[in-house]
Structure 1
Amino acid sequence: MTFALPDFDLAAFVASTLAEDLGQGGDITAAAVIPADAMFEGVMATREDISVAGLPIAEAFFRALDPDVAIETLVADGARVAKGGVLMRLRGRARAMLTAERSALNTVQHLTGIATLARAYVDAMAGTPAILLDTRKTIPGLRVLEKYATRMGGATNHRMRLDDAAMIKDNHVAVAGDIGEAVRRAVAAGIARIIVEVDRVDQIEPALAAGATHLLLDNMDPPTLRGAVTLVGGRVPTEASGGVRLDTIREIAATGVTFVSVGRLTQSAPAADIGLDFRTL
């Protein structure tokens, strides 16, 4: 298995997650009830329509506790799978499978839930020129994985870290005095990418004149967005953000904005309903 993400140590993630679950005494239930030589066969399947994410990580959990486990992964991350579809088959030591089960399933359910929600938003805006972006509204420590999951659902990553680009918002403007001064300070600091949040059309020209390279059009209704896009005239990318829902994203995306960002992709995506059933061999 080869699975690599920038700034993500899979082995360390698996080890720390299992350590959290095992505690000092290990899986005392499996050790007491399951014979050491017992073998299991497992089937991981989905109970709803999904877009998959996280299967290679689940595999790593099982292999960490049983290097000899036989695993057949039947779909790739990013694939759409209908309710009842089988994702993975396993055969190996029963104790190891039961011990790794929760860590593996939690990860796949969480990441697949994100990918599935992202795919729903992408589908809802299909046919428009806009691109779906995620945000930094991620669970601390899981950002790399959660943003990977949004990509598996068809979204594009926004900033991964605070040093990827400047993002000037209302609090920055309040301290700087006005939006133009805030942008000029970022330009003077040598920052190449300067994203500026504007919530009024009259802020657009001062932001652009000062050196903004990307405008985040915050909480604007579709008619206002269309006017803002016309005013910008393609000089910089535009991004609609704030209050975007599944039932409103198509109208927002059709206004001509370059991007639509949605925080709930990672902030509140429900876990996917995926099960793992075992039988004794």
Structure 2
Amino acid sequence: MRTINTDDFKITGPTKLSDLPTFIDLKATKDKIKDALDETREALSDLQDKMYAHNRYSVLVCLQGMDTSGKDSLIREVFREFNARGVVVHSFKTPTSAELEHDYLWRHYIALPEKGKFAVFNRTHYENVLVTRVHPEYILNENLPGIEAVEDIPKDFWKKRMKQIAHFENHIAENGTIVLKFFLHLSKEEQRQRLLRRLEKEKHNWKFSPGDLKERSFWDDYQRYYEEAINETSKEKAPWYVIPADDKDTCRLLLAKVIWDVLSQHKDIKYPELEDKVKDNMSFYKNELANER
């Protein structure tokens, strides 16, 4: 199998999505790729257990991508070996009336992971500079001061939002949350094929919505706004990784490897030491349990 350098997918400077691959050949069979994923997710599961005991860091995994990019199945496969108490998945859909009574980051802030745990955001706070940018009329639902119509949205509105998001991520990173953001980079042709499969395979019919085709018509707009958001907000403490997503098995392995590589750099994550008093009496405790009747 080709050696995977996860830094190859990290955005560290201005980039164009059209220049980045949607497919990468790992020079391996599907079985070998799945075996590599199995090894990586087991290692991540062990590390998460250690992180839970350490109780100093939390991990926020942000997943963004066009419809059919494979976010749901990726979550299922990558985090399958995790202890259920150690990972929580949040799927952010259209804001509820209660959520709209708060600022746009509120619902994301209250879903942040506790120390020792992972949270996976399936669609994230970036929807507020992506979907709302393609459909600016959605902003009117937020009842913002001075904005009564789309024409009232200032030209610098989106730039300001991206700065707010970057500040939000920097704040939580400085307080112990390891932030990892992934864009699942899918080609338009692969999306077409996946939408067709939803229509052709009865067990996948339920996933299809006519709205998928409407959003597909905005493909170029979404690509432009994703590119701008990634360039504006890929920071040292909250980097973006653009993961080729045309092959689902490869995508899952690459993403899992990124998480592993980043977390492995935190050498201070370890099981807590027992108190000296407990250590000194280990033989006593063992004997007490062994001789219990």
TM tier, shorter chain? under 0.3
TM-score (norm 1): 0.27
**Which one has the bigger strand percentage?**
1
| Bigger Rg over Cα | 1
Higher relative contact order (CA 8 A, sep 6+): 2
Structure with the bigger percentage of helix: 2
